[in-house]
Amino acid sequence: MTEQLVRPDPISGFPEWLPEVRLVEQHWLDKIRQIFESYGFCSIETPSVERLDVLQSKGETSQEVYTLQRLQADAKDQTDASLGLHFDLTVPFARYVAANAGRLVFPFKRYQIQRVWRGERPQEGRYREFTQCDIDVIGQDNVPLHFDSELLRIVVEVLTALDLPAWTVNVNNRKVLQGFYEGLGIHDTMAVIRVVDKIDKIGPDAVSDLLASDVGLTADQVSATRSLALIRGTDSTVIDEIRALGVKSDLLEEGLTELGQLLDSFADLPAGTVTADLSIARGLDYYTGTVYEAKFLDWPGYGSISAGGRYENLTGSFTRKKLPGIGLSIGLTRIFAKLVAEGLIQTGPSSPTDVLVVVPSDDRRIDAQSAAATLRGRGLNVELYHQADKIAKQLKYASRKQIPFVWFPPFEDGRDHEVKDMASGEQSVADPAAWSRA
């Protein structure tokens, strides 16, 4: 009886790349890590698994949690039933800070680059497993406003370093939104924010209809809310446009001051890098000040590629200490997968190898191993060919993997080492203790 083969297809929503594509992704990760650290952010890593009560503490996406159950577990054994894979890095970070508050130095500046899991329907830009790159500044009692500008500059620097297609960072301030709505006499401001946050997906007309039918706003309130949401600008003149709508409240003025200062701090950046967009709401309840989202300009319907904002007490579910902060997340997989799909990832070699060392014969393998070890000791990535094949076959292997140099140890005693430049075809005598790729 023929054994039934298992299909090797990857699971939908779990991206995987060929080696040459994965090398580009790793290069991106290295760039992001370097930029985060250049601003003084330290790395932490939290477990992939958290207790369900921790994951559900914010209540926003608890229905998307992958819970744990061992395949061979007894039906009565519920040991792992209260555990789940984290669906973002924010909730685990909040727990981490609460657990270690007495040992951290504040303001605590951390970055975290890890995979997360969400049990949702896969579609373009949305995956069941993906990599997030988060940074946060969290303080005791307060976090200075200049960190709002610093984190946005980090986003701009990362997106620029990755050489992405055209993008912009859209900013707003939740105090402006809540203060404006309160000035209109609206009591359930969060309900309005959640609806306005859908404007990119459903459009202004549909948002207006929902504000009237679902939230119960009057015609004048809907009109003013819509007018605010349609304001855009790249400098602090947008503050005048908002004030021209005639709505007043103390919270609104506080938010306008913060938004104006933020926009002024980016006057040195190219026009359009940072845009004030009064429709940006970020529907999560815990945001209290600056909020922002970065998006591709050529794909306006595609999800945000970076987002975040300021919060007053993200750790409130875990401690009574007031620990406010500001944070952002860069959706590495969302960005990378889009560029792969559009054919915009420029791949190179399928291997990180700098030099392939030829094995001339079984008798000379020790010489080949010695040459490879010497070259590795000088910082090169060196692969030793796996067997004593014909030289033409070993060269073909190097060519297929786009390895730039091939090293020939002595074929017999008294001969010199030689190295071949695969691009130019030149082959010359070389010393493994002194040679370097020019």
CB-CB contact of 354 with 436 (8 Å): no
pTM: 0.91
Q: Which domains does the chain have, with CATH numbers?
A: 19-341 (3.30.930.10), 355-429 (3.40.50.800)
Residue 60 has pLDDT above 80, yes or no: no
Cβ pair 29, 113 in contact under 8 A: yes
Residue 414's pLDDT is what? Answer: 80
Report the SS3 class of residue 213: helix
Cβ proximity of 260 and 134 under 8 Å = no
**For the segment 79-117, what is each residue's pLDDT rounded down to a tens digit?**
667 899 999 999 899 999 999 999 999 999 999 999 999
Structure tokens belonging to residue 43: 């790395």
Q: Are 135 and 41 in contact (CB under 8 A)?
A: yes
Q: How confident is the model at residue 201 (pLDDT cuts 50, 70, 90)?
A: confident
* 262 close to 84: Cβ distance less than 8 angstroms: no
Q: How far is the C-alpha of 304 from the C-alpha of 293, rounded, in Å?
A: 6
pLDDT at 311 over 60: yes
- Asked if 146 and 120 count as a contact pair (C-beta separation under 8 A), the reply is no
Phi, psi of 42 (to 5 degrees): -100, 155
Give the whole-angstrom CA distance, residue 79 versus residue 73: 9
Q: What is the pLDDT of residue 318?
A: 87
Which CA distances in Å does 185 have to 167, 173, 239, 247? 36, 19, 21, 10
User: Can you tell me whether residue 253 is helix, strand or coil?
Assistant: helix
pLDDT, position 420? 97
Confidence of residue 31 (pLDDT cuts 50, 70, 90): very high
Report the pLDDT value the prediction gives residue 77, as an integer from 0 to 100: 63
pLDDT over 80 (residue 145)? yes
Higher pLDDT, 62 or 105: 105
Task: List 49's β-bridge partners, or say none.
Answer: 85
